[in-house]
A and B are shown apart, each in its own frame.
Chain A
Amino acid sequence: MDETISMRRLTPFQWFTQALLVVGAGIMILPFIYMIGTSFKPPTEVLTWPPTLFAVHPTWDNYRNLTTIAPFPRFFLNSLIMSTASTLGILATSTFAGYIFSKYRFPGRDLLFIIILATAMVPFETYLIPFYFLIKQLKLINTYAGMAGPYLIMSFGIFLMRQSMSSSIPDELLDAGRIDGCSEWRLFHQIALPLSKSAVGALGIFAFMQAWMAFIWPLILATQREMYTMEVGLSVFQQRFSIDYGSITAGSTVSIIPVFIVFLVLRRNIIQGITLTGLKG
Chain B
Amino acid sequence: MTAAPRSQRRWLSMEHRRWLFCYLGLLPILALFLVLRVIPISQTLIYSVFNSSVVNPMQNFIGLDNFRRLPTDATFQDALKNTLLFATGTVVLSVLGGLVLALMVNTRWKLTPFFEAVYFLPVITPMVPVAIIWKWIYDPQYGLLNYFISLFGFKQVGWLIYPNIALWAIVIVQVWKVLGYNMVIFLVGLRNIPNEYREAAVIDGASGAGVLRHITMPLLKPILLFIVVITTINSFNVFTAVYVMTQGIQGTSGASIRVLVFDIWENAFRFWRTGYASAEAVILFLIVLGLTLGQFRLIRSEE
Question: In whole angstroms, what is the CA distance A253 to B118 when docked?
Answer: 17
Q: Which residues of A contact B237 (CB under 8 A)?
A: 123, 125, 280
Residue of B nearest to A234 (CB): B128
- The secondary-structure label for the interface of chain A is helix
Residue of A nearest to B94 (CB): A281
Q: Which of A57-65, A127-135, A162-170, A190-198 lines the interface with chain B? A: A127-135
Question: In whole angstroms, what is the CA distance A115 to B284 when docked?
Answer: 21
Interface pair A255/B129, CB less than 8 Å apart: yes
**B206 interfacial by beta-carbon distance below 8 Å:** no
Interface pair A231/B261, CB less than 8 Å apart: no
**A121 interfacial by beta-carbon distance below 8 Å:** yes
**A213 interfacial by beta-carbon distance below 8 Å:** yes
Interface pair A281/B133, CB less than 8 Å apart: no
- Whether A280 touches B141, Cβ cut-off 8 Å, given contacts A107-B19, A234-B128, is no
Q: Which residues of B contact A67 (CB under 8 A)?
A: none
Interface pair B284/A25, CB less than 8 Å apart: no
Q: Which residues of A contact B185 (CB under 8 A)?
A: 275
- Whether A216 touches B29, Cβ cut-off 8 Å, given contacts A127-B41, A279-B123, is no
Residue of A nearest to B179 (CB): A28
Interface pair A28/B124, CB less than 8 Å apart: no
- The secondary-structure label for the interface of chain B is helix
Interface pair A125/B261, CB less than 8 Å apart: yes
Interface pair B127/A106, CB less than 8 Å apart: no
Residue of B nearest to A32 (CB): B121
Which residues of chain A from 9 to 49 have any CB-CB distance to chain B below 8 Å in the complex?
A: 10, 13-14, 17-18, 20-22, 24-25, 28-32, 34-35, 38, 46-49
**A238 interfacial by beta-carbon distance below 8 Å:** yes
Interface pair B126/A153, CB less than 8 Å apart: no
Question: In whole angstroms, what is the CA distance A278 to B248 when docked?
Answer: 32
Q: Which residues of B contact A255 (CB under 8 A)?
A: 126, 128-129
Per-residue interface assignment for chain B, residues 198 to 234, with 1 indicating a CB less than 8 Å from any chain A CB and 0 otherwise: 0000000000100000000000000000000010011
Question: In whole angstroms, what is the CA distance A186 to B121 when docked?
Answer: 40
Interface pair B122/A28, CB less than 8 Å apart: yes
Which residues of chain B from 43 to 92 have any CB-CB distance to chain A below 8 Å in the complex?
A: 43-44, 47, 57
**B23 interfacial by beta-carbon distance below 8 Å:** yes
Which residues of chain B from 1 to 49 have any CB-CB distance to chain A below 8 Å in the complex?
A: 18-19, 21-23, 25-26, 29-30, 32-33, 35-41, 43-44, 47
Question: In whole angstroms, what is the CA distance A149 to B39 when docked?
Answer: 14
- Whether A100 touches B25, Cβ cut-off 8 Å, given contacts A28-B176, A234-B129, A275-B188, is yes
**B168 interfacial by beta-carbon distance below 8 Å:** no
Residue of B nearest to A18 (CB): B109
Q: Which residues of A contact B285 (CB under 8 A)?
A: 122-123, 126
Which residues of chain A from 166 to 207 have any CB-CB distance to chain B below 8 Å in the complex?
A: 184-185
- Whether A184 touches B21, Cβ cut-off 8 Å, given contacts A14-B107, A21-B115, A152-B36, is yes
**B165 interfacial by beta-carbon distance below 8 Å:** no
Question: In whole angstroms, what is the CA distance A155 to B236 when docked?
Answer: 20
- Whether A259 touches B124, Cβ cut-off 8 Å, given contacts A49-B142, A235-B243, is yes
Residues of A within 8 A of B (CB): 2-7, 10, 13-14, 17-18, 20-22, 24-25, 28-32, 34-35, 38, 46-51, 93, 96-97, 100, 104, 106-107, 109, 112, 115-116, 119, 121-123, 125-134, 149-150, 152-153, 155, 184-185, 209, 212-213, 215-216, 219-220, 230-231, 234-235, 238-239, 242, 245, 248-249, 252-253, 255-256, 259-260, 263, 267, 270-271, 274-275, 278-281
24 A-B contact pairs sorted by A residue (CB < 8 Å) = A10-B109, A17-B104, A22-B111, A28-B122, A31-B122, A93-B32, A119-B37, A123-B233, A123-B237, A126-B44, A126-B284, A126-B285, A127-B43, A129-B268, A153-B37, A215-B239, A216-B261, A245-B136, A249-B133, A255-B128, A256-B125, A267-B120, A271-B120, A279-B181
Residues of B within 8 A of A (CB): 18-19, 21-23, 25-26, 29-30, 32-33, 35-41, 43-44, 47, 57, 101, 104-105, 107-112, 114-130, 132-137, 141-144, 147, 174, 176-181, 184-185, 188, 208, 230, 233-234, 236-237, 239-240, 243-244, 247-248, 261, 264-265, 268-269, 274, 277-278, 281-282, 284-285, 288-289, 292
